[in-house]
Every structure is written in C-alpha cells, then in structure tokens.
Amino acid sequence: MHGKGDPMTIQAVSGRVLERRAETALLLAVGLHAVLVSVASTSPDHAWLTGGAYLAAQLGCLLVAADAWHSGHAAQRRLLGLFTLALTSLWLGDAVTLSFELRDLPLPPVSAADALYAAYYLLLGSALLSLTRLRLHSLRTLAMTLDSLIVMTILGTVTWTFLLSRPAPLRATGAAYATLDLVLIGVGLLALRQQRLNVPVALLCAGLALTVGGDLRFAVVGEYVSGSGADFLYLWGTALQVLGLWWRRDQSVRGVQWRPPRPVRVWLAAFPYLAGGLTCAALLLARPAPVTLWGAALTFLLVLLRQGTVLQENLLLARKLRHSAAALERGSARLRHQARHDSLTGLPNRAEFEEQLRRALQGPAAVMFIDLDGFKDVNDTFGHPVGDELLRLVTARLNAHLPARATLARVGGDEFTLVLPGADEAQALSAARQLLGSLRDPVEMAGLTLPLSASIGVSLAPRDGTDVTTLQRRADTAMYHAKRSGRQQVQLFTPALDDQRRERFALEAALRRALHAGEFTLHYQPQLRGAALESVEALLRWTPPHLGPVSPGRFIPVAEQCGLILPLGRWVRERACEQAAAWHQQGRPLRVAVNVSPLEFTQPDFVPHVHGLLTRLELPAHLLELEVTEGVLVQDLTGTAAKLRELRRLGVRISVDDFGVQHASLSALMALPADALKLDRSFLSGHAGLGSSCAAAPHVLRAVHTLGRELNLDVLAEGVETPEQHALLSGLGFEYMQGFLFSPALPPDELDAWRAARSG
C-alpha cells in the first residue's frame, strides 16, 4: 500500500483535480458567452463583447484539447492531436470572420476563413476515421460504409430539397458547409458503429450534431452575425467534443462501453429501410424536385447494394456454420474415440470391448484374458517409460498375430482381453497359442533385452456363460490358474477352476477374520540329536470353527499371495519367542526354530523386529533359530548375506530350510553365515521301507551329510517317519533328526508332558 507521500498517489490526486478544473473551465466559458450575448445583444457594439467572449470560450476549448493531447494515453495521441489541430483551424477561421465583422467589412464569398474551415473539416474527418479502425477488404467495413452512405444520402436529399425550395438564393459557402457536414455525419456514424456507445463517443457525436445544426442555420439565414443562435450551436458543439476528448485521453480508465437496448438497435438497423419507404411516399404524394429524384435513385441503389452485402453475409455465415458443424462433428468423433480407446496403445478400452463382446454373443464366441508375466518387475526396475514402450511393442506383436474378426482391448496396466466371434474350443486354443508364441522372443529397446511371456485364460460362449460379466470373470479365473501353474501357458476354463478360485477367496476372507479373532495356535515338533531333545520347530496351526482344521499347505500359499503372510509371520515370531522366554524363565531352556517366508525376510524392519523381541522378552539370542528357504538365497544373495550376518551378530542361529529343493549353488551356500542345513523330506519320501527303488538316494544323503560336516554345518533330516528311515540315516552318520517317528507337533502343555515322560 502506498504511503501519503507516494508520487503515484500525488499524481493521481492532481490528475483528478485538473480534470474537474478543465470541465469547470469549459462550462464557465460557454456560460459566460451565453450571459454576454443575452445582456449585450441590444448594444450597438455588442459584436466586441459577444465575439470576444466567443473567441475566448473557443480558445479555452482549444487549450483543454491541447492539454488532453499532451497528457493523454499513447494509444489516443493520434486522435487527440487531430482534434486539437482541427479546433486550432476552427478558432483561427472564427478569428478571421470576426475581424471582418468588427471592421464592418463584407465577408468575401471565399475567404481565408473558408480555407481554415475547410482544414477544420478535413482534420475532424481524419480524427473520426481514426475512431473507425476500419479494415480494408472486409465485408463488415463495406456494410457499415453503405449504411453510412444511405443515411448521408437521405439526409442530403431532405436538406437540399429544403434549401433549394426556399425563395432566397443559396450561398455557395453555405452549400459547401452543408455537404461537408453530411460527410462528417457519415464518418461519425462509422465511428459510432465501430466503437459502440460510450461517454466520450456520445459527447463527440452530440457536439458534432450541434456543429452541423449551426452550419444549417448559417445556410438558411445566408449570413453570419456575431451573437446569433449559430454561435450557441458552434460553441456548445465544440465544448461537448472537447469534453469527449478529455474523457477519452486515458483509454485504460475511461470509456466504459454501453450497448443500447435491443429496441434502439432494432430501430437503428431498420432506419435505412424506413427512410427508403418515406422517400417512396414523398415521391408518390408530391411533385418531386430533380434533387429529390436523384437522391431517391441513389438511395435505392445503395439499399440494393446493402442488401447484396446482407446476402453475402448470410452466405458467409452459412459457410461458417457448416465449417463449425463439421469441426464439432470431428471433435465429437475424436472425443468418442478417446472415451472408448486406450490412449497409450490405441486399443479399445473396457467399455468398447464389452460392447463388441455383447455383439459377438449372438453366436458362439471365445473370450481370452491375457496377462503379461513379470511386467511389474520391468516397471519397478527400469521405470514407467520403458514399461509403456514395452506395452506398445506387445500390442504391435499381438495385433500382427490377431485372428480375423477378433477384437483386442487393453483393460488394465498389463492386462489385455480378446473376443473371437464364432470360435469353438479348438479354434480358441489354437489362436491363444499363436498369440502366446508371438511373445516368446525377447524385445530389444533402449539398449536392453527384455524377456516377454504371458499367461492366457480362455472361456467359451455359450458353454461357460452367456453374458459379458460371466465370460470375462471365467477367462480371468483360467488366466489366474495358468499363472499359478508356471506362467507362459494357455488355460481353458473349467468349473473346477471356478470352485478353486472361489475357495481361495473364501479362504483369504477367513484368514483375515482369523487374524483378528485369534484362531491361530503354535505347535512345537521336537528335534532330537541322538536320543536327546535339542530344539523344537514352531509350526502354525489353524482350526476355524466353520471349516475345521486347515493344513498349512493350504492356507500358507494363500497368505503369501494376498500379503497376509507379513502380519501372520510377525505373530508367529512373537508367540514363539514368548514361549521360548517362558521355558527359559522356568529353568527348562529350549531352542525354538521359526520359519521365515521370503516376503518377510525382504522387509526393512525384519532384523529390528527380531532384535526388539529379544530385548523386550529378555530372551537369550541362542534360544532363537530362524529358518530361511533356498528361495531367499537364490533371489538376492548379497542382501540376504548382509541380513544373516546382522542376525548372527545378535547371536541368533540360522538354518537353511528345504535344502536341495530349489538348487541353490554351492558357492552361495559357502557365502552364507548359516549354522545348519535342514534336508528336505523329499529325500526320504521314497524310503518308507528298505526295498526302495531309489538306489542312489543313500549316496546323495551321504554326500549332503559330508558336505555339511566339511562346511561345519549341522545337517538335520526332517520327515523321519519309519524305523527303516531312521536306521538308514543312522547308518549314514546322521544324528540330528525330526519327524513323526519321534513326535508330531504338540501344543506347549503336551510338549511339556512329553519332555517329562522322556526324562522320567
């Protein structure tokens, strides 16, 4: 906010004061002239007073115009300068005319004053033209010009008919001024049409009308007398024009436009035609003079030309409307296409696909659900721009191998759907395998070689459904089963798949409820070294009230797929550590082994959570053993080794579970800070008796045992269920074992009883 002494504030205040003074000075000047004319009109020397007052008032108008020119906005300088020069010529012409009158000399027919008045008309007309801002070669300019000419012709016809019908002779100068006034009226009408009506333009037009009135009075009277009515018209006309200039000098502040009411605009538009009608009536009812006939003929000609511009404007308007309609139609078609197509690949989106599928359901049809394998890893590793480019390449490949009449759509991030009308089972499977084959070759882009594969599910109409939703859902179910079965496969929908997926969703919902309802328990299976109990493995058990006991082999994979393994694994670790801490406080310490899923192990808070448990429960770290699978080793050897070393520094024992299943390399095994290997039960599954057909199995078992001993690792054989298996393992040097032969997994209280019975 500006302060009191701000130059901008002072300048604005002084500007407003000067504006009020200029307007007041103009009004006082014309008022003084009016007073002097009324008082001194009977005096024999009144010309000195009235003429002097007239010139003084005109000089005041000229000074105000000059000040407006000097202080006006740059955009208004040309207009203000032309008006100021015009008023200068007018004042000089009036001074010459008054000098003849004061010396009682007759005014010549053509004098220097007439030359100055001619300059006034020329400069004033130029100023009005600057207001029009007409564009050449414009139909609108031609139309406005014809409108002004029509008005000029009608007024000129009326004026000249009146002047020529008078018995007094018409002076040449009066006729010339009347003609020039008609030109000014025409130019003024053009300016009014272009500018619309605002306060400055209204004042200029009003002043111009008064000046024209003074010229008409001079033409009728035939002579000029100082102090006559013509002076009032001239002076007031000049004052109004100067006020208009003063108000317009700053375009950024003044000149708020006012649009006339609709009735006024209608009458103005109809005026040329009404005038033409009145002219026709005058020609029919009276004996027309030659000037009237010529004026009427010219008026009709101009009206016809104006009508031609109206027709041309209508043609242009119709053409623009056609172009606009075509543009709207193109825009509408583009919007419809964008609303029903994918912006990245250009394929139909879900809405368009479902519409195509509805049409195809009038007969047999195949629906395919195509999902790219590992696309999320590409996005996460290389970024979304690479992922988007990969999607475009996949689209190009699928389109190149698309069966005839098929519609391919993108309905999700890396999910595509396809409808093949009229296809039976054999045709659908053949088309799906062809599409799958088109994605087997890797793609080269951005200096990368990216593998491609997909899983495809297929449903058939009407066998698997007769509506869009059912067919899409069942194709999705088949695709999900293909992905679970190893990916890069085609799976045809069967009712059993629907049952499996429904069961999986029910199991997932039950798992979520079980986490909050406390339906899980931990059982502990003994791990013996020889005949001595050395440790136990914590095994999760779930017995929901409405389902009965559910094996871990059923619910653990579901928990891993839906992400519930994280809160579930956290709960298992906490309960197992609490139980180990309780046995330790009772003076019966027992090491507890806890399984860790690969997803849990990758969490950044895994090691801090283990450390926090040990600290909070005051549990010695050597009483906790964490079992990691070979899958963890295969995925990220460097990160896994770092976390395992951190756990080992805490004192936690590490074992590798299910050893030999996922074929981790020996170099990876040597690099890991592990304490034990848990031999997978599959090595013993063929040895229920001594008559095994797997003759090489004992050699593999001996090799694993030797490897563990050389690496200074305990080797635990799990899944020992028969005396024959126990005898085989003992003969090979195994001491550390676990299995139903010794004990199943037991609740804590039953395990305590089992321990007591063995020690008794």
pLDDT of 13 reads 42
Which one, of 180, 217, 233, 203, lies nearest residue 54 by Cα?
Answer: 233
Q: Measured on CA atoms in the order 513, 515, 516, 518, is the torsion positive or negative?
A: positive
pLDDT of 695 reads 47
Give the Cα separation of 603 and 601 in Å (integer): 6
pLDDT in tens, 257-285: 445 567 766 766 676 666 667 666 666 66
Q: Give the end-to-end CA distance of the chain in Å, rounded to a whole number.
A: 97
- Average confidence score pLDDT of the chain: 79
Question: Does residue 629 have a pLDDT over 90?
Answer: no
Percent of the chain with pLDDT over 90: 26
Average pLDDT over every residue of 631-642 = 67
Question: Rounded to 5 degrees, what are φ and ψ at 366?
Answer: -115, 140
Question: Does residue 150 have a pLDDT over 50?
Answer: yes
Average pLDDT over every residue of 172-184 = 69
* Residues paired with 369 in a beta bridge: 417, 457
Question: Rounded to 5 degrees, what are φ and ψ at 521?
Answer: -135, 160
Flag the least confident range among 46-50, 231-235, 601-605: 46-50
For 446, counting Cβ atoms within 10 Å of its Cβ (0-12 exposed, 13-18 middle, 19+ buried), the class is exposed
pLDDT of 228 reads 66
Domain 350-493, CATH number (from 3.30.70.60, 3.30.70.270, 3.40.640.10, 3.30.70.20): 3.30.70.270
Which one, of 591, 523, 600, 518, lies nearest residue 560 by Cα?
Answer: 600
Which one, of 130, 341, 337, lies nearest residue 245 by Cα?
Answer: 130
Average pLDDT over every residue of 293-298 = 72
Domain limits, the chain: 14-259, 350-493, 506-754
Flag the least confident range among 89-103, 195-209, 579-593: 195-209
pLDDT of 538 reads 95
Flag the least confident range among 214-223, 361-370, 726-735: 214-223
pLDDT in tens, 646-705: 999 999 999 988 776 655 556 666 667 888 988 878 777 654 443 344 444 688 888 888
Architecture (CATH level 2) of domain 506-754: Alpha-Beta Barrel (3.20)
Show the beta-strand stretches assigned E in 223-364: 257-258
Q: Which residue has the higher pLDDT, 160 or 118?
A: 118
Give the Cα separation of 628 and 614 in Å (integer): 19
The structure tokens listed for 414 are 């890396």
How many other CB atoms are there within 10 angstroms of residue 182's CB atom? 19
Do the domains 506-754 and 350-493 match in fold? no
Question: Does residue 89 have a pLDDT over 50?
Answer: yes
Question: Does residue 716 have a pLDDT over 80?
Answer: yes
Average pLDDT over every residue of 558-571 = 87
pLDDT in tens, 395-450: 999 999 999 889 999 988 889 999 999 999 999 999 999 999 998 888 887 677 78
Which one, of 401, 372, 366, 402, lies nearest residue 387 by Cα?
Answer: 372
How many other CB atoms are there within 10 angstroms of residue 578's CB atom? 15
Give the Cα separation of 12 and 18 in Å (integer): 10
Contacts of 698 (CB under 8 A, 6+ apart): 728, 732
For 601, counting Cβ atoms within 10 Å of its Cβ (0-12 exposed, 13-18 middle, 19+ buried), the class is buried
Average pLDDT over every residue of 553-559 = 84
DSSP 76: G
pLDDT of 174 reads 61
pLDDT of 674 reads 85
Give the pTM: 0.51
pLDDT in tens, 17-53: 445 566 676 667 677 666 666 665 555 566 666 777 7
Show the beta-strand stretches assigned E in 52-208: 197-198
pLDDT in tens, 191-228: 666 555 566 777 777 777 777 777 766 666 655 566 56
Beta strand pairing status for 714-718 and 676-679? Answer: parallel
Flag the least confident range among 232-246, 506-520, 599-613: 232-246
